[in-house]
Amino acid sequence: MSYVADKNRYQEMKYNRCGKSGLLLPAITLGLWHNFGDENSLANVKEMLFGAFDMGITHFDLANNYGPSAGSAESNFGEVMRTDLKPYRDELVISTKAGYGMWEGPYGDGGSKKYLISSLDQSLKRMNLDYVDIFYHHRRDPETPMEETVEALKSILDQGKALYVGISNYNAEDTRTMIKLMKEAGVRCLIHQMFYNMLERHNEKVIDVLEQEQVGAIAFSPLAQGRLTNKYFNGIPADSRAAGTSPFLNKEGITDELLKKTKALNDLAESRGQSLSQMALAWTLRGHVTSVIIGASKLSQIKENVGAIQKLDFTAEELQAIDKILLG
């Protein structure tokens, strides 16, 4: 039987305006970086996608190389679009990216016009889409002039292959330059996607630029690969990322110092009536951040994270307490 969306799906989610644009994004975005590729069951992929949409998550974030293997997250998403989500296409914001290595040879990586347009064409086929809502250049490519990357993004917009374009993983200086070049070319930079959470705050300078330029901000890894949860309080679970071979988190990253800090944060979260993960998401959503991108391996994690929107406000004392725990 085909999926039918929950009729109450828009009653609880909070939607934020993305920079100075007409587009609203849900405070919580579902990222398909891990757990949506060909190593995962399509049944679980569907359960997470349907459950997320039923909770008002309208934004699904992908990239050409998401999986694993590269491309398989888009392919699985495309199968779900074909069989179940197609009637809801106009209610969804679907984003993808290109910028990191995707295929062999000199044209499968970077920021060239050749690579970006070819990659998006492949992504659209995999996802069974005529267009994406947001297309990002995934990283600054120092070997390609920014002007050429801007040309590619403008061409993508002009061809109707994306409604909006943005950038990801650019530092503050390059972000300012790229936004300027895009403006000169008549291209709106809708949004910048960056690594940002309580533990890693180096991109606050980028957020300052985005606020000045009235460009949206969206944060990935808001839970620091699971370190801002209670998952590791009693050891490293066998099915956790830190127990595996992930290049982004290993058991050496779960230090006694980290656990001391996160347990103190957990106590503060409980005093607020939240879990640690919910408080971490709420903290990241302060100020100019439009949305946070969560990852998940099961629907229950998405439900837990969506609970963050029930308490987004912090007192000055709570913010000071968080900084004291983390920064000393």
The CA distance from 30 to 32, in Å, is: 7
> What tokens does 79 get?
């199968």
Would you tell me how many other CB atoms lie within 10 Å of the CB of residue 323?
11
Q: What is the pLDDT along the chain (328 residues), one digit of tens a residue?
A: 799 999 999 999 999 999 999 999 999 999 999 999 999 999 999 999 999 999 999 999 999 999 999 999 999 999 999 999 999 999 999 999 999 999 999 999 999 999 999 999 999 999 999 999 999 999 999 999 999 999 999 999 999 999 999 999 999 999 999 999 999 999 999 999 999 999 999 999 999 999 999 999 999 999 999 999 998 776 656 565 555 555 555 556 678 899 999 999 999 999 999 999 999 999 999 999 999 999 999 999 999 999 999 999 999 999 999 999 999 8
Tell me the Cα Rg of the chain. 19
**Residue ranges of domains in the chain:** 15-227+286-310
> What tokens does 2 get?
């085909």
Axis crossing angle, helix 146-158 with helix 172-184, rounded to the nearest 10 = 50
Asked if residue 98 lies in contact with residue 137, where contact means CB atoms within 8 angstroms, the answer is: yes
How many angstroms separate the most distant Cα atoms in the chain? 55
The CA distance from 1 to 5, in Å, is: 12
15-227+286-310: CATH class: alpha beta
Kindly give the residue spans of alpha helices, DSSP state H, lying in 138-275: 146-158, 172-184, 204-213, 256-271
Tokens 């403006």 — which residue?
183
> What tokens does 115 get?
């690579």
The CA distance from 144 to 194, in Å, is: 20
How much is the pTM? 0.94
> What tokens does 30 get?
């579902």
Integer CA distances (angstroms), 69 to 38, 43, 230, in order: 6, 18, 29
Query: Residue 235 has what pLDDT?
Result: 60
- In DSSP terms, 217 is beta-bridged to 192, 289
